[in-house]
Chain A
Amino acid sequence: MNYIVNLLLSMKGGMFVTIYIFFITLVFSIILGIITAMIRISNIKIIRVVVSFYIFIMRGTPLLLQIIFIFFGLPMIGVTFERYTAVFIAFILNYTAYFTEIFRAGIQSIDKGQFEAAKVLGLSKFQSYRYIILPQMFKNILPALANEVITLVKDTSLVYVVGIADVLREGKIAVNRDATLLPFLVVAMFYAGFIYVLSDLFKKVERRFEYYR
């Protein structure tokens, strides 16, 4: 028991790093995802094509490769990022692409009549999205969003590639140091616990949105 407590204490820095990367990525990619989704469904063809290409590249290549490219590849052409910055750029760009597609589908699933009613009442585009479209969209996309958020928790472990000491890396260090697999079990429980809390949160949010149909 003492060993596990000591293990948890020695890994708390790594846990914080994992949670930190998760939250920063989540907040920025949700905000950017909404904006990009609105751009993606705009009437300007060139913008639509550019956004579609960006989404294709981000979804068509592994996140691990994107992190490597930004941290190790870009310095070859003189663009250098500090490791956390490189990780955030890669994660946010990647997850924005996935969220964009989720939000786009959510916006397009809303009845055209809702947009038209907002228009004839004189609401601006911003007001229509704020009061009508986005609240309805979030209700529709919550299950898909929950899936993506859970994937993000597990993807944070990819930061090991640039030497960031997240919870998995600290677990691995403990395994090598103490010659036992127990730290991996603790790491697994950390991820599972984190995901359990998030899943529960999403269930609660879904219930909160049940007030209308």
Chain B
Amino acid sequence: MVLELKNVAKSYKGKRILDNISFEVKEGEIVSIFGKSGAGKSTLLRCINGLETIDKGSIKINGEYLYRQNGIYVEVAKGESLKKIRQSIGLVFQNFNLFSNLTVLENIILAPINVYNLDRELAVKKAELLLDRLKILDKRDFYPYELSGGQRQRVAIARACILSPKIICFDEPTSAVDDEVKKSIAEIIMEFKSEKIAVLIVSHDKEFSHSISDRIINIEGGKIIS
């Protein structure tokens, strides 16, 4: 399993946001978390990526615990373990969150060079291969503001997968994109599947979720309902 959630719960200001969530994602599997706005799906994705803490339960990514229930406490991964987890999981934000002061190439190679000590030349080569595959190699030295929404999304995808993660998460990948871009996102996701990379999609786009996923998890009021 590349992702395992066990009894994950989270409350905010006394309100239950996530309630006893458990599921697993296998290698190369495409799983969509579907639900209305406010159902808790984005919070769940943020917890899986370590952007929010959880109150109860465990989250395991590629064999390493990000959060682990230990008695009444939840232990959080630190140091090398956290580094391994970060390398195993990539996240494509809804609004991409590209670093506006860096070029496309710099956005992609920043973490591999500075966090994972990858040789610069090798990182550039890997990034260029990815950009070529995503058909935006000609934008390599552009700044994010010079790109269209679809191109920015591709850069965000390249940034999320440069370290060859085992699972890539997408937060609302089809919000505010036209049908053409939607089609190309679906193609990219299917390519991940063929490379045995798992994909976790959070979306309220029913048509997209159903057309692309191996499995759909429906969430309502912070609970898995089916």
Give residues in A with beta carbon < 8 Å to B: 111, 113-114, 116-124, 127, 131-132, 135-136, 139, 211-213
Contact = CB atoms under 8 A, between A and B. Distances in A.
Contacts of A119: 50-51
Contact of A211 (B83, B95, B143): B143
A162 to B, nearest CB: 43
Contacts of A121: 86, 110-111, 115, 159
B97 A114 contact: yes
B53 interface: no
A131 B50 contact: no
Nearest to A212: B143
A10 to B, nearest CB: 48
A123 B114 contact: yes
Chain A facing B: main interface SS: helix
Given A139-B101, A212-B100, A127 B114 contact: yes
A122 B115 contact: yes
A60 B101 CA distance: 36
Contacts of A211: 143
Interface in B85-107: 86-87, 89-91, 93, 95, 97-102
B97 A116 contact: yes
- Quick one: which of A111, A139, A213 has the most chain B CB within 10 A? A213
A213 B145 contact: yes
B218 interface: no
Contacts of B23: none
5 contacts: A113-B93, A113-B95, A132-B99, A212-B101, A212-B145
Interface string B142-166: 0111000000000000010000000
A123 B100 contact: no
B14 to A, nearest CB: 21
B51 A131 contact: no
B73 interface: no
Given A116-B51, A121-B159, A122-B115, A135 B110 contact: no
Contacts of A139: 101
B99 A122 contact: no
A196 to B, nearest CB: 29
Given A121-B111, A121-B159, A212-B143, A113 B97 contact: yes
Given A122-B116, A131-B110, A117 B86 contact: no
A124 B98 CA distance: 17
Contact of B97 (A117, A124, A127, A212): A117
B88 to A, nearest CB: 11
Contact of B91 (A120, A123, A212): A120
Given A117-B93, A120-B49, A136 B100 contact: yes
A132 B93 contact: no
B86 A122 contact: yes
A211 B146 CA distance: 11
Contact of B111 (A111, A114, A116, A123): A123
Contacts of B114: 123, 127, 131
A117 B93 CA distance: 8
A120 B50 contact: yes
Contact of B115 (A111, A116, A123, A213): A123
Contacts of A136: 100-101
Contacts of B111: 121-123
Contact of A116 (B93, B98, B102, B145): B93
Nearest to A139: B101
Contacts of A213: 100, 143, 145
Nearest to A132: B99
Contacts of A117: 93, 97-99
Nearest to A113: B97
B15 to A, nearest CB: 21
Nearest to A127: B114
B143 A120 contact: no
A133 to B, nearest CB: 9
A88 to B, nearest CB: 33
